[in-house]
Structures are given as C-alpha cells and as structure tokens.
Structure 1
Amino acid sequence: MMKYLKILSLLSMMAATQSCLSADEDPVAVRPMTGSEVNVAVGGATEPNQVWIDLSDHDKPGINKRTDWDLGFYSGDDFRVIMNGSLAMTVIKVPDATDLSKIKEVNVESLKEIAQVGTFDSGNLKYIDNPNGNFLTQTSGIDVIKENDADNSIYLVNMGREIPAVGSIAPGSVALSGDERGWKKVQIVRAPNGYKIRYADLNADNGNIKEYIITKDPEYNFTFFNLKTGSPVKIQPKKKNWDLVFTTFTNEVFMGPGNSAGSYFYADFIATNTLNGVGAYQVNVTGSLDEAYNAFKLKDVDASKFVFNDHRAIGDKWRTTTGTAANPVPFVYSDRFFVLKDAEGFYFKLRFNTMKNSKTGERGFTNFEFEPL
C-alpha cells in the first residue's frame, strides 16, 4: 500500500509542476546548432514574392505575393496603419472632406498627380510610411487613428502597381511595376479592440461604400487587409517568428550626401524585424571574405554597432544594382558580411552569395548563408 501511495504522490508532484506552465507560454528558445545555405524564393526578375525568414527555423519561410495585401493594422497598444511599400503605395489627405460618399474622381485629380513614388521631389516622402520602419512615431503616411471618429481624415489611396506579367527581361534587369492598381477613398476609425475601415472606389456613392471591422491579434504585429477582396489576410509570421523579409521596397533616395530626392522604388531589399528587437550591422572586409567570415566568432561581435531603430540595417547594402566601372552589372558585394541579433538574443553571421540565376543571369534568385555564433 505504501508503494502505491509513493507513486501517487510522485505523479501528483509531476502534475503540479506541469500545471505551473501556461499552455499559452512560448516554448523556451533553443539555439540553432548549425548554419545553413538558403535559396530565397523571390520569384525571378519581377520579384513577385515577399519572403519572411526566421533564422532559427529557416526551412519554413513565410511567402506571399506582393499584391496579397494593401494595409496593415497594428496590433499593439497604439492605433497605427501602414501601407504596402512593396507596391509603391501612397496616401494623401483629401482636404476638408467629411463625407466619403461626396468624394468623386473629378475632385481629386490634382491630388493623384502629387501622391506618387519616384517624382524626385523630397516633399513626396510625406505620402509614404517612414522608410526606416518607425511607423509608431511617423508624421508621414496615415495619421494615428484618433478616438473621436470625426478627427480621422479621409484619404485618397494610391494602390500602387501590379506585378508585371513575365516577359522578355534582359539578364541582370528587373521589371517590378506593372499596370496601375487604381485608387480608393478610405476612412479609418477606432472600433472595440481594433479598427473600422470604410472604403470605396472613387466614384462610389453612399450605397456602395464598404465597411469592415478589424480586430487586433496580439500574436501578430499587424492584421493585414486586402482592399480589392475586402478581407483580412495573414502575411507576416507571428511576432517573434521572423528575422528578415526579402521584398521590393519604397525607400528614400539621395542625389548626393544630404540631398534627398524623396521616395523611390527598390528591388532586392531586405528589412529586419526591428519591432521585435532584431538588430543587425555590417562588417567590412579588406582582405579575403572567406577568411574573415570563417574566422568571425561570438567574441568578435561589437554590440555597439547593432542597428535596432532602422529596419534597413541590411537593406540594399548587400548588393549593387548598377554595378561599377570595372564590373557594370548588378552583383553581390564581396567585401562585407553582416551580424544579426534575433528577438531571442541569439547571434548570427550572414553572407550573401548571389542575386541572380547563375546560368541565365536572371535577377530575383537570392542565395545567402548564415551561422549561429
């Protein structure tokens, strides 16, 4: 009898110990044991895909078409909305507008000419999200969504460009911008634990205005919404389940040091998950890249160099799209690699090998390798 009581007592202790762990708790992060080489499914010279990669689980990337979403609704405490920069979207306030149904295309023709990417005017930065990714404090794009419905502006939304049909694209070149995706008129207000979006085509009357309630999901940074299908879509993986996204990107371009030319559309871009603590920095190499990369260990990490406040820490710095006088074709730089710290505090080194198909020269075939430190 005593033996059975001891077994029962032991089982009770085990159950009590397990009950202290919530079913909602994240599993304990386990450091990856080895690195790997990754072929990123960007999709070729039209770069149709956004690819979200977690270095701790790189075999299961998140992949979506760039046209799968238009707006992202923040799930945190603030009420902020971002645009799909992979399509060169823009927004502009419709002055003095209070009634969505009364806005017609004829009233906004002059605004359509202004709210464009690539006009080489520094003033057009106000029509896009902050390129550094700090959307919570940005004064561009869509304003913070206010408590009082009447305080929220009506916006004219430039839906950007379609992904072009695959045609004859010269080796080393890209074709990112197809037909115009059109325009929408949009107003966003708060709803219980989320947002309400009201939107329509420009000439729609009151009977054709659509509405949708978007609820915040704390497991994700954003709830994404497709204005053409009128439905939410899953785009990013869960908050801490990605480190890098390979994408096209609306960035700020410069004519020279300190001379901004405003917004411009980039190919072959990499953004980091700064919203959840991912940081990165570049290591410059003067000699052999192979030797420097292989020799770099955890003790060599310089914590002061990590960039946590700009998701362009890698950005376009890993490649040149114009080439050089000596090598006038796009190529991956061979004089640098990168160090990344993920949301769990693990360190990695990364080097980029290709941005083109080695046989055909077609762009949109990125390959990189990484190792945990």
Structure 2
Amino acid sequence: MMKYLKIFSILSVMVATQSCLSADEDPVSVPPMTGSEVNVEVGGPTEPNQVWIDLSDYQNRSINKRTDWDLGFYTGEEFRVIMNGSLAMTVIKIPNATDISKVKEADVQNLKDIAQVGTFDAENMKYIDNPNGNFLTQTSGIAAIKENDAENPIYLVNLGREIPSSSNIGAGSVSLSGDPRGWKKMQILRAQNGYKIRYADLNADAANIKEYVITKDTEYNFSFFNLKTGSPIKIQPKKKNWDLAFTTFTNEVFISPTNSAGSYFYADFITTNTLSGVGAYQVNVTGSLDQAYNAFKLKDVDATKFVFNDHRAIGDKWRTTTGTPANPIPFVYSDRFFVLKDAEGFYFKLRFNRMKDEKGNRGYSNFEFEPL
C-alpha cells in the first residue's frame, strides 16, 4: 500500500515537488490532487462487512466479514484486549472462579441475562468496551492483563450474534442480529512478547481447555483471534494504513442527555483510527451544501475542533436511521460535511452522499473526499 512522506505540511510538499528537488533527489509522493468518490462495500441490509479505508490509497481498501474475529490483542507496551463490537459481544467476570476447567454452564446461567447488549440498563456498559475507543484506560470489558496469572479473572464471553441469512428485508430497513453465536469461558494471561488465551465451551473439562499464544506484531495496532475457529486472523490494515472504518457498532444510547440507557447496537457506523493519530470534526452548513463544501479550503481548517480522543468523531453523525416526522425514511444529512486529518498529517474534506442503493436498500454507502 502506497503511503506518503510528509515534509512540514502539504503546502511545502507541493512546493518541493514543483521547484525544490535537485536532479539526484528522489521524487516525493503527494496525495491525489483531485477528489474521489467511493462506493463502500458494506454488503446490503444485513451489513455483513467491515470496510477499512485509507483516503490516501482508497482503492486498496480492506474488507472482512464481521464474524471473522472475536478478540483484538493490543500490540503496544500495555496488555489490553478488545472485543468485536460489530457483533454486540460482551464479557462478564465469573465470580469466585479460579479454575477454568471447573466452570460449568450451570454456574453461569444467571449471568447470561446480564451480559447482553440492548437491555436499556445503564449497568450493562460494564460488559462492553468503552464506546469512545479509549480501551487503554477503560474499566469496562476485559481488564488489563496482569503479570501474575492468578490475578487474571475467568470470564463468561457472549459471542454476540451471527450475520442474518435472510435477504427478504424491506427497503430502508436493516437486519443486523441473527442467531446467538453462543458462549465461551475464557482466561487471558501474559506470554513472552504477547498473550496466552485459555478458552473452551462452558462444560469443557480440563482435557478440553484450548490454549493459544498470540504474539504482538507491532506493524499492526492489534493481533486478532477467532474463538470459533481457534485461529489468528489479519483484520485491520497496518497501523497507519487506514483512516475510516465502516461497521456495525456497540455504542451507548441515552434517554436524555444525562440519562444513559446502556449499550445499544448501531447500523451504518463509522470509526476513525484515533490510535494512530487520525482526527476528524464536523462542519455545519446553512444554505447550499455544494457551495459550502466546494468553497472549503485548507485555510478554513480549524485545528482546535479536531477530535482525536474519540473514534466516534464521525460515528452516526452523518446519517439518521429513523428519519424525521416530515421524512420518516433513513437518509444522509445534507447540512454537514467533515474534515479529517490522517496519520501522516494530511487534511481531507469529505461528504456523505447515500446509505442506500437506487431501490432504497440499506448497506450501500457512498462518500466523496478531496485533499486540502
């Protein structure tokens, strides 16, 4: 994947490529100087795909099924593990459990109703990853992995929901949650340059506890693992090789601005690669969106507005899934666009054009962007 060398700023790169290269210097690559339009392969109203896009190399985007992975193991200095929020996964500590082989389904039956997404109970936020993406400091989800094996709890893991198989979904609607994917018991320990995961079906005895060592690959933010297949898998592109991800998402929903209703499952969601320094912000428009978008230049960027500490900077802000009283059909907002700063320090403006195909079926997103 082609990446770009940043020299002071985009403007200085442009000047350098035009007038400041000597005969024996290598040419400097710059972002494309014309805008591009992108059809995002979300996959239709069951939204089966996660799509990872690097605006500097948007044609080589990476696509995976949501069910391809369950856990992401952080490759930095800390020992943290995330869950696949695109499946509405949850975890809950099994009280007083010290031996994973002795945990049986009957021991955790009362926990199954608790470790769920969408119960409209603020308490269920404890069982998911922090929706803002700040997993290194979160107190929810899977705790930091300790050096002392005995300090690492045994978890009941809700593997979330399968991708529905039905194709008979009404125009403007989505169907995101199929059959339950089941439950696992799990303990994660530290290993040399990585992690050791111990996991099994709930009634498995000592002879059937599976183990796998996950090595930290520092070219990526996470090393991913599939609990169903018992194997590692590449999901995200390399650290700085993606800016945006189109995905379903486990978020927090509110009854009122200060009254949380807990975790909730979202369609048509976009996250930004904040772990690699990507930031974004929304520009509100009064009047013509075309005119405001076309007129927006590098000099208009407000560096104070970038959101670098919440990967939901774009999130669900580009569309409404419920419509309005006057227009009750889901649609893309026409009164805003977004500005993004990528991991290389380049600036882009982007606007979203649609979330449906010509027949009104969801899961067919389109956006355009232009380097600034």
Same fold (TM > 0.5): yes
What code does the residue aligned with 1:366 have? S
Q: Match of 1:4? A: none
SS at match of 1:44: coil
Quick one: distance in 2 between partners of 1:167 and 1:371? Answer: 35
Alignment of 1:172-191 (within 5 A): 172-191=172-191
Moved over 6 A (4+): none
Q: Match of 2:237? A: 237
- Normalised by the size of structure 2, how large is the TM-score? 0.92
Q: Once the two structures are superposed, what CA deviation does each residue of 1:103-144 show, in whole Å capped at 9, x if it has no partner?
A: 000000111110000000011000000000000000000000
Q: Match of 1:67? A: 67
Q: Match of 1:205? A: 205
Query: Could you tell me whether the CA contact under 8 Å between 1:223 and 1:233 is conserved in 2?
Result: yes
2:341 corresponds to 1:341: yes
Give the C-alpha shift of residue 325 in structure 1: 0.9
Q: Match of 1:52? A: 52
Moved more, 161-170 or 50-59: 161-170
2:157 corresponds to 1:157: yes
What code does the residue aligned with 2:192 have? P
Quick one: distance in 2 between partners of 1:301 and 1:248? Answer: 29
Q: Match of 1:253? A: 253
Quick one: distance in 1 between partners of 2:33 and 2:98? Answer: 57
Higher gyration radius (CA) = 1
Q: Match of 1:24? A: none
Q: Once the two structures are superposed, what CA deviation does each residue of 1:185-239 show, in whole Å capped at 9, x if it has no partner?
A: 0000000000000000000001110000000000000000000100000000000
Q: Over aligned residue pairs, what C-alpha RMSD do you find?
A: 1.4
Give the C-alpha shift of residue 29 in structure 1: 6.2
2:369 corresponds to 1:365: no
Quick one: distance in 2 between partners of 1:232 and 1:28? Answer: 36
Q: Once the two structures are superposed, what CA deviation does each residue of 1:304-347 show, in whole Å capped at 9, x if it has no partner?
A: 00000000000000000000011110000000000000000000
Quick one: distance in 2 between partners of 1:167 and 1:355? Answer: 17
Quick one: distance in 2 between partners of 1:29 and 1:199? Answer: 47
Q: Where do 5+ consecutive residues of structure 1 fail to align?
A: 1-16, 22-26
What code does the residue aligned with 1:146 have? K
What code does the residue aligned with 1:364 have? G
Quick one: distance in 2 between partners of 1:117 and 1:160? Answer: 9
Quick one: distance in 2 between partners of 1:366 and 1:167? Answer: 18
Q: Match of 2:21? A: none
Quick one: distance in 2 between partners of 1:308 and 1:110? Answer: 39
Q: Match of 2:8? A: none
| Structure 1 pair 50–28 and aligned structure 2 pair: CA distance change class (3 A) | farther
SS at match of 1:137: coil
Quick one: distance in 2 between partners of 1:30 and 1:124? Answer: 46
What code does the residue aligned with 1:132 have? N
Quick one: distance in 2 between partners of 1:32 and 1:144? Answer: 41
Q: Where do 5+ consecutive residues of structure 2 fail to align?
A: 1-23
Q: Match of 1:134? A: 134
Quick one: distance in 2 between partners of 1:84 and 1:350? Answer: 27
2:342 corresponds to 1:356: no
Quick one: distance in 2 between partners of 1:114 and 1:237? Answer: 34
Give the C-alpha shift of residue 33 in structure 1: 2.1
Q: Once the two structures are superposed, what CA deviation does each residue of 1:143-163 show, in whole Å capped at 9, x if it has no partner?
A: 000000000000000000000
Task: Report sequence identity in percent.
Answer: 81
Q: Match of 2:285? A: 285
